[in-house]
Amino acid sequence: MIDDPEPTLVDPGPSTTLEALRTGLSDLGLSLTDLRHVLLTHVHLDHAGVSGHLLAENPRLTVHVHRDGAPHMAEPDRLVASTRQTFGEAHDELWGEMLPVPPGAIRTWTYGEGNPLAGIRAFPTPGHIAHHVSYLVERSGVFLAGDALGIVLAPGGPTYPPTPPPSLDVEAWVSTLEGLADLDPELVGVAHAGLHENFNDRREEVLREILALEARVERALANDDLSDRAAFEDEVRERLANFRERDEIDRYFKTFSPVTDWDGMRFYLERVKPERA
């Protein structure tokens, strides 16, 4: 949430969290009808799925999204079908219904076209998905990274890169992270979860982790050792349980399984990377 004369929400989440969002805004002295802008880092349902519901209650809202993501907001059927393929029977419980955003409420943006709103700088951060955008709130010095800087499940805990299929692009993500090296914000906000200091430490860590997972999956495929998939999940859970209660870690990864991230890297190596050779 960006406190502004025109209140702005970044990545409002899925429709299953609408009531929690309503409560959170109320705690800030706001209602859904007070909002004027929604900024999306990308269109995955855990970040953008509630947007159509917000417009249904507040038609004055403007949804800002990269041009390549805009069609999925206006006509979300293909996006929902793809997400359902990944999450199966758990899809509806996790993400709920995604309503279309009226085309007139969508303001598109693409790289090189300035910034979506005054005082908020947009940065192209592809990798997790091709149209990913991050935002720097200039007056507070907070860099709102979406998924570009990975996942941090506990203060002081490690950074974990989300690499699900089918949109992962390691080459683009490495370029993104290297390109942010000169940025020095006061804080970095990661969608999963919280505000953290030491932006460049986080940036370097997620870069190392992405490359390490790429090398790991490449070795497993070369050795025809798909058992590494389950081993990776166990290792991730054990590692993060050193920083947060194990049952909380298990609840998170019940939704976002490390196996899915292993599969995303496999998809990239088998289908995407060879096309560039």
Mean pLDDT in the chain? 92
Q: Which ranges of 180-227 would DSSP assign to H, the alpha helix?
A: 199-222
Residue-wise pLDDT tens digits, 258-274:
999 999 999 999 987 66
Question: CA Rg, the chain, in Å?
Answer: 18
Q: Is the pLDDT of residue 1 over 70?
A: no
**According to the model, what pLDDT value does residue 273 have?**
67
Indicate the pLDDT class of residue 277, thresholds 50, 70 and 90. very low
pLDDT in tens, 109-139: 887 777 888 889 999 999 999 999 999 999 8
Percent of the chain with pLDDT over 90: 74
Per-residue pLDDT at 130: 93
Residue given tokens 């990798």 in the structure block? 127
Instruction: Yes or no: say if 132 and 80 are a contact pair by the CB < 8 Å rule.
Output: no
Find all residues with CB under 8 Å of 198, minimum gap 6, and list them. none
Question: Which of these, 115, 122, 132, 121, lies nearest to 43 by C-alpha position?
Answer: 132
pLDDT at residue 118, as a whole number: 85
Average pLDDT of the residues in 150-165: 90
d(CA 37, CA 121): 15
**pLDDT digit string, tens, across residues 218-261:** 999 999 999 999 999 999 999 988 888 889 888 888 888 899 99
Mapping DSSP to helix (H, G, I), strand (E, B) and coil, where does residue 122 land?
A: strand
Q: Which two tokens stand for residue 15?
A: 């429709």
Q: Encode 127-141: b = buried (16+ Cβ within 10 Å), e = exposed.
A: bbbebbbbbbbeeee
Domains of the chain and any CATH numbers: 1-117 (3.60.15.10), 119-277 (3.60.15.10)
